[in-house]
Amino acid sequence: KNEVEQSPQNLTAQEGEFITINCSYSVGISALHWLQQHPGGGIVSLFMLSSGKKKHGRLIATINIQEKHSSLHITASHPRDSAVYICAVALWGSQGNLIFGKGTKLSVKP
Amino acid sequence: KAGVTQTPRYLIKTRGQQVTLSCSPISGHRSVSWYQQTPGQGLQFLFEYFSETQRNKGNFPGRFSGRQFSNSRSEMNVSTLELGDSALYLCASSPLVVDTEAFFGQGTRLTVV
């Protein structure tokens, strides 16, 4: 069993739809990251969470430490949101020692 | 402020050769980490450096090594290249060693033939 599980693996949505991507983990963590990767490889950090909820524009991320679960929500989705979204957890005492989920490939159709 | 810069962006090497990849972090960032991304294994942690010291190492063979210089720039080296080393190699920098956002470079795509 993978230590970080994401669902769904693939997601197709119509422009304007509300999108949720889920991440569950089984290890003790100090923080959880949501990352976005576009074709070509570059990764952008969207959020880093250790508790609660964060919001940037149309993106919202939540984490429940007790349940070891996090969600990434995209409101009013747009074709430019099409990308792979990756959940990664940071082990205690290490910023860089990340365990990654396999990613969710999102395609938003106009 | 300049982002994380990785050089080269693309590289083709032959089996058995060695390769050195470079990562220049954001100015002021002292933590640099390296990751390997392959279609089969996804993203995997390679190394973490802070102030020229390796703090953590992932589960990779000894052919993979790295170092960090006093200006925080980092290099990773892979010796005796194998076909399976073909991957996108990413580095990320952050100002601290715990609980801070990571800033990723564009990656170096290594192809071993």
Q: What is the pLDDT of residues A55-82, one digit of tens each?
A: 999 999 999 999 999 999 999 999 999 9
Of the candidates A4, A98, A42, A26, which has an alpha carbon nearest to the alpha carbon of residue B105? A42
Report how far residue B14's alpha carbon sits from residue A59's, in angstroms, rounded to the nearest whole number: 43
Q: Is the pLDDT of residue A27 over 70?
A: yes
Q: Is the pLDDT of residue B97 over 90?
A: no
pLDDT of residue A2: 77
Averaged pLDDT for residues B107-112: 97
Chain A CB within 8 Å of residue B21 CB: no
Residue A46 backbone class (left: φ over 0; alpha: ψ -120 to 50; beta: rest): alpha
Of A33, A48, A102, the CB nearest to B42: A102
pLDDT of residue A66: 93
Looking at chain B, which residue has its C-alpha nearest residue A104?
A: B42
